[in-house]
């Protein structure tokens, strides 16, 4: 008896070309960044601008000239020169390890920056903000206030807006160092994806697992410290032993992330 076509479509293993595999991996890898963009309330135009500048900077880091970028980026020298100028002005960090102000040319983001900077001096009513920021239209202020309140950046009490206290705790003096740590963390994740999907080598180590579990909230820091201590001791012992041999030594990275799964408003699906 012949197998129905629709059954074959379900049971036969799905195969994709290497081109499609790379696109699928990239699509999955972008999901965390897109989630953060949604939580940050970015308009699609602003997100596309960030991607354009970041992609340009990725080629720039590799020492590719503007002329050499024309084909892979599919842009004219004039457009690439504009991107180079934006990146050089600190649009996304001009040098390796630097962090400028992203989207410095975005009017929407500019309004949000001005409102938050004004409220750092203390809570204010909307009419006070309108007086303090005459260059911003009333509609622009209303749009920015609504967005910032929905994002949890601002609070509204008795018609006075203020910067949320938990947001102030996140912006600390060691921000550059923390961002460098994020960059290092995510670059190691990119190395794992590359090894596992784009350039497999049976002799190269590329291990990735996620263990999801339930735990008493008070016990979670203890679990973190114990896991990290074992990892720390093993890595330092391996590094010391590598100094005693002349060959067969490779550079490696290990990524550890332990997080309490967020359940706040930003991660809940909206009801239709």
Q: Which of 120, 91, 88, 121 lies closest to 104 in space, CA to CA?
A: 91
Mean pLDDT for the stretch of residues 134-148: 90
Q: How far is CA 15 from the centre of its chain?
A: 30
| Buried/exposed 210-226: b ≥16 CB within 10 Å, e otherwise | eeeeeeeeeeeeeeeee
Q: What is the mean pLDDT of the chain?
A: 85
41 Rama class: left (phi>0) / alpha (psi -120 to 50) / beta: left
**Global confidence as pTM:** 0.76
Q: Is the confidence at residue 99, as pLDDT, over 50?
A: no
pLDDT at 98: 43
Q: Which residue has the higher pLDDT, 27 or 105?
A: 27
């Amino acid at each position: 008896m012949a197998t129905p076509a629709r059954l074959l479509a379900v049971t036969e293993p799905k195969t994709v070309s290497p081109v499609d595999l790379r696109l699928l991996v990239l699509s999955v890898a972008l999901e965390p960044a897109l989630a953060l963009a949604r939580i940050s309330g970015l308009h699609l135009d602003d997100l596309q601008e960030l991607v354009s500048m970041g992609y340009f900077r990725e080629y720039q880091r590799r020492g590719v000239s503007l002329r050499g970028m024309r084909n892979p980026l599919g842009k004219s020298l004039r457009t690439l020169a504009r991107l180079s100028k934006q990146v050089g002005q600190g649009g996304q960090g001009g040098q390796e390890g630097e962090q400028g102000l992203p989207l410095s040319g975005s009017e929407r983001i500019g309004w949000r920056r001005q409102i938050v900077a004004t409220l750092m001096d203390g809570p204010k009513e909307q009419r006070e903000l309108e007086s303090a920021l005459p260059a911003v239209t009333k509609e622009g202020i209303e749009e920015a206030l609504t967005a910032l309140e929905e994002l949890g950046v601002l609070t509204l009490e008795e018609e006075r807006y203020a910067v949320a206290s938990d947001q102030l705790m996140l912006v600390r003096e060691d921000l550059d160092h923390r961002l460098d740590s994020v960059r290092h963390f995510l670059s190691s994740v990119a190395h794992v994806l590359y090894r596992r999907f784009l350039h497999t080598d049976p002799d190269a180590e590329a291990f990735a697992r996620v263990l999801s579990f339930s735990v008493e909230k008070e016990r979670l820091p203890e679990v973190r410290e114990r896991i990290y201590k074992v990892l720390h001791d093993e890595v330092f012992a391996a590094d010391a032993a590598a100094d005693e041999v002349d060959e067969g030594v490779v550079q490696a990275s290990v990524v550890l992330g332990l997080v309490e799964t967020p359940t706040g408003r930003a991660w809940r699906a909206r009801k239709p």
